[in-house]
Structure 1
Amino acid sequence: MDLEEIKQGLSTEKLDTYRQVLDCKNDGELIAVYMAMQSIMSHFFPVVQLLEVTLRNSIHRAATTRFKDDEWYSKIPYTDESKKQVDFAMQQCLNDVGVKYTNNDLISRLPFGFWVHMLDKKYNNPRENDLNLWQTQFDKCFPNAKANGVSLNTLFQKLGTFNKFRNRLFHHEPAWKGRKTKDRSDAIKYLHAMYKEHLEVINLLSISKRELLGILGFVESFNNECDIKRLDRYTLLLNDNVKVKPE
């Protein structure tokens, strides 16, 4: 196995982050830790996807009910950025489906950030009736929020953080690196915290969907793999099969 060849196919900048923050002493350990983290991060995809789809559909139902129009996104006022996202989704529909695309085709193409923005406080102002969504729809969209003492603003802030995490995850950035991550232990703790918070928000939307992840073993699988010992195990496996020269 040629470690140099493997390194050439990866981003030098990203590898440097792994080397520095996760204290990789040689190329073998660097590649092993990189792959271990990729394996751990892969457990986020089912959770992130379930959260995104549930949030999208819940907000769409709430807005359709409130504004009495399933094309509410093209009629109520929104920011220039939101309008660009709707226009881009429309163009995608035309390119992918054609002029006969459905409302569902468009809704599915609106990015996660669009739905996060719908939780902004300006949609919760009784003085702005044209925008007032959450005065009547918050409990329907997040049926378990009030019982857990979670406000609309808290959800907006939390989901904004999730959106940044999601983008790093889907663009293969070091999503394990939080603002306070200084070593491997911090990285593992950060990932456990993020996973737990995702589960908590799913629970606010749907208890059954949170239970689904537990029953099917997704939560257990993540907890078993997101362990600092996994990084050590991958390093031993690689060192057993490659002669690594100290740098």
Structure 2
Amino acid sequence: MTIEAITQSLSASRFATYQSPILGGTSSEQCLGIYLWNKQLASVFLPALQVVEISLRNAIYQSYIQYEEERIERKFASHAWKEKKSQIDRSWFVTAFTQRNNPGAHKSIQTAINQLDKEKKPHTPENIIAKLTFGFWVSMVRNDFDIQKKSYLVLWPHLRGLVFPNALNTQTGRPLSINSIGNELKEINKIRNRLSHHEPLWRNQKAYQVEDIINKVIEHYERCLKVIYWINPSNLKLLDIIENNQKMAELCSIHALWKNKQLPGGIPSLPINKEWGKSIILDTSHIGEVIHISDNHILIKSKKDKVIFFGKKEEIHDEIGEYREHDLVKYYPEPSITRYPNAKKIIKV
């Protein structure tokens, strides 16, 4: 397996993006090493982007409902709260957008609903939210949805403190404008799209040296952490649990880039692993004791979890008449809607 065979499969035009003199991509081996470095950066970026996306969409959706509930509590007597709150449109982000007022958002919603239809899932707010893109929610964070615009959907400024409670100017301590927050989110969305299209994450036309390129990656990642903090600081702990920040710090170094550029030199000597899963796949079988035998089934008590399993005659390897109570058998468990879970591929041990 040669370097050329790999680079050709990546396409010449795409591979050319890694031919950066600043990064030292002056040979096929070096470019492939830079490509591998970018793949590792992308794998560490992904959890941070996911936390940003989930934090943002849930914060916007839930804050809208919370604001409406608080508005009802301010406006009406407590005996009317339950009825008034039940009238809140839980699918507000769907009903607000039409083909006329926002064709792009309307199309995104219809695409999400069509996907749910294919999967035969109900059109609940939670299901639709899960199908909508990150860009859909980013597009809401702009002044077009400010109360002064008298928009068909009003989000700002009254949701700003609920969605982005910690988005403050570091010098003045004053809340950042929605457009300022939205601009940061747009940059994150660009990185997300770049990652999904397998493009380099460090694009920096002003880069003079390798340190500038690495710093650009750090800047992108820091932006993700900053926005997560703006929405919910506790969600930053999710990245600490999986040591994501530590992994990114290790990759954002000149040494990590250098090390990756050395890797392709050993590719020709590496074996091609076609059966990766065989060595690590987990054994799902159970060992159990036969506790009951009839003409068309047996009951087995698992040694592993003491659960009783139902084994059809058709699932038994030998004739059912050859089995006796207390025999030990090996089988594969399968859930069932009946009283006992099923035992599959039953054989004596």
TM-score greater than 0.5 by the shorter chain: yes
Cα distance change on mapping 1:46 and 1:138 into 2, 3 Å? same
Pairing partner for 1:222 from 235, 238, 248: 248
Listed one character per residue, the Cα deviations across residues 162-218 of structure 1 (whole Å, up to 9, x for unaligned) are 111101101211222134345533221110001011100000011111233235421
| Range with bigger deviation, 74-83 or 112-121 | 74-83
Question: Residues 124 and 135 of structure 1 are in contact (CA less than 8 Å); yes or no, is this contact kept in structure 2?
Answer: yes
1:48 aligns with 2:49: yes
Question: Residues 38 and 201 of structure 2 are in contact (CA less than 8 Å); yes or no, is this contact kept in structure 1?
Answer: no
- Which structure has the larger Rg over C-alpha atoms? 2
Identity %: 29
Question: Residues 177 and 187 of structure 1 are in contact (CA less than 8 Å); yes or no, is this contact kept in structure 2?
Answer: yes
Question: Residues 23 and 183 of structure 1 are in contact (CA less than 8 Å); yes or no, is this contact kept in structure 2?
Answer: no
| Range with bigger deviation, 4-13 or 179-188 | 179-188
Give the alignment's Cα RMSD to 1 decimal.
Answer: 2.2
TM-score by length of 2: 0.64
Question: Residues 32 and 234 of structure 1 are in contact (CA less than 8 Å); yes or no, is this contact kept in structure 2?
Answer: yes
Cα distance change on mapping 1:69 and 1:179 into 2, 3 Å? farther
Match in the other structure for 2:11: 11
Question: Residues 14 and 174 of structure 1 are in contact (CA less than 8 Å); yes or no, is this contact kept in structure 2?
Answer: no
Count of aligned pairs: 242
Listed one character per residue, the Cα deviations across residues 95-128 of structure 1 (whole Å, up to 9, x for unaligned) are 1234x34221111111111101111202112451
Match in the other structure for 1:93: 116
Pairing partner for 2:229 from 168, 182, 203: 203
User: Shift in Å at residue 28 of structure 1?
Assistant: 1.2
SS of the aligned residue for 1:210 comes to helix
Cα distance change on mapping 1:36 and 1:138 into 2, 3 Å? same
Cα distance change on mapping 1:127 and 1:241 into 2, 3 Å? closer
Match in the other structure for 2:313: none
| Range with bigger deviation, 178-187 or 77-86 | 178-187
Alpha-carbon distance between aligned partners in 2 of 1:30 and 1:97, rounded to the nearest angstrom: 45
1:213 aligns with 2:239: yes
TM-score by length of 1: 0.89
Structure with bigger strand share is 2
Cα distance change on mapping 1:161 and 1:179 into 2, 3 Å? farther
User: Shift in Å at residue 66 of structure 1?
Assistant: 4.4
Query: Which amino acid in the other structure matches residue 195 of structure 1?
Result: Y
Cα distance change on mapping 1:237 and 1:91 into 2, 3 Å? closer
Match in the other structure for 2:215: 189
